[in-house]
Structure 1
Amino acid sequence: MHPWIETVTLTPATTPITVLPPDPATTVVWRMTPAGDSDVLVAGPRTTAAYHTTKDLPVCVRLRIRPGGVIPLLGTPPDQLVDQVVPLESLCGASATSLAEQLVTYRNRPARAADVLSDYLTARVPTYLPERLALVRTAVADLPGRRVDEAAARLGVSERYLRRVFRQAVGVSPKHFARIARVRRVIGTRHSWADTAAYAGYTDQSHLIADFRALMHVTPKAYATGNVPLSTC
């Protein structure tokens, strides 16, 4: 298990519609176009879902950063990246431009490209890491199973302090993190809505439907049948 990278995706989606659920994580993406252009992008925490037609990309590598890892890897608070996609070079300077050029060498070896990208990011981690990083990671594990005040009490800090350091380290508030986590649990389940609500941590089925609609822009039933709002941007 990588200490900073939660998941690695090596290929682009192949379905006509790409679904991007709300996501509290920040993702670093290297992609090449059919014309051979190469760039590395940083997608910040996504507070609601997005839907668009799948782009024709011959290679696309996505590294999803673990909660609390954005500042050590990128040197930028993730709350400044919320609902944004920015070039890596705008955060890391000219070395990121050279990285994008270097990665072209591995266009036929995406797993190796992921390793090179990961090595570039982890080489930027400072020697000293703040103690609050461990606190944030513990809070991430506790949510959404506990209320924010319960999580704070369990960690021995004030609720106000937890909210502040959590937002700085993750990019969204603990409450919104929990909402996103619950919705992500719902996606793809095949149980009854009542059973799914209990499994995902909702108070009842109506609570599930309201939260799902707010974050996914559609009802659970519409989503399950593929009836989603499509943007081509």
Structure 2
Amino acid sequence: MRALEPWVEEITLQRSDVSMIVLPPDPATTLVWRINAAGESDVLIAGPRTKASYHSGKELPVCLRLRIRPGQAMPLLGIAADELVDRIVPLSDVCTTAAGLSERLDRDHPEQAVAVIGSHLLERVPRRLPERFELIGEAVEELSSRRSVGETATRLGVSDRYLRRIFRQAVGLSPKHFARIARVRGLISENQRSWSTAAAGAGYADQSHLIADFRALMRVTPAAFATGRVPVTNC
């Protein structure tokens, strides 16, 4: 659904049983439609995740995820992202008009659910957005490219304090925490062979800095994560 592209960064569909679910820290808010093994259907909102979590697998015949671009959740959901941090709530708790939405989604044709969900979300978007939302998008790009908070504020022509305030409300995290998560997510998306080389390429002071930051956000060391030695929680 092309109309969702400015708002939704990634759409994934899972239709199988998985042995383990790895959820890295994530600055984005994600809408999830799932059907469990009992055939029960629900639509959830998963807010920004400040640290990684690891769960034993479960059977989900359908699990559709729409990862909303950081900073774009508020216009779609009508709620500030900082109210959703580290929370998973039914979409109907955030948007009363979403009651009954899951019943309109066809489990036999989950691909069509994107259009149904997308139409529901886009109906809520105000015709005119405050100028700060454009600024938030620019800040996300700057911080993702490893600019400091001070450099980002200067480039955008605002004060550090103002940037921190509107960024936390729109994204759910402080600019600094967002940048830390973006950097660690970049590391785990690549097959690292040398952590010292990775540290230099990702802008860490040294390998020790990388390991400390990785462990704080992923809850394990890089070596443990690479070999699957993670603290799994039973769902």
Q: How many residues are paired up?
A: 230
- Shift in Å, 1:204: 1.4
- Per-residue CA deviation, residues 55-92 of structure 1 (Å, 9 max, x unaligned), is 20100100000122111000000100000000000011
1:192 aligns with: 194
Asked if 1:50 corresponds to 2:85, the answer is: no
Are residues 191 and 114 of structure 1, via their aligned partners in 2, closer, same or farther at CA, if it must alter by over 3 Å? Answer: same
In structure 2, what is the equivalent of residue 18 of structure 1?
21
Q: Is the 8 A contact 2:16 2:59 kept in 1?
A: no
Task: Confirm whether residue 134 of structure 1 aligns to residue 137 of structure 2.
Answer: no
Is the aligned partner of 1:171 residue 2:177?
no
Q: CA deviation at 1:33?
A: 1.4
1:15-164 equivalence runs, <5 A: 15-93=18-96, 95-103=97-105, 106-144=106-144, 145-164=146-165
Q: Which moved more, 1:159-168 or 1:135-144?
A: 135-144
Q: Is the 8 A contact 2:16 2:61 kept in 1?
A: no
What letter is aligned with 2:54? Y
Query: Which amino acid in structure 2 is aligned with residue 76 of structure 1?
Result: I
1:218 Cα deviation after fit: 0.3
Q: Does the Cα contact within 8 Å between 2:17 and 2:60 map onto a contact in 1?
A: no
TM-score (normalizing by structure 1): 0.95
Aligned to 1:180: 181
Deviation of 1:14 after TM superposition, in Å, equals: 4.7
Which consecutive aligned stretches of 4+ in structure 1 deviate over 3 angstroms post-superposition?
12-15
Return the TM-score normalized by structure 2: 0.94
1:12 and 1:166, CA in 2 relative to 1: closer, same or farther beyond 3 A? farther
Given candidates 206, 209, 234, the residue that maps to 1:232 is 234
Q: Which amino acid aligns with 2:78?
A: G
Unaligned runs of 5+ in 2: none
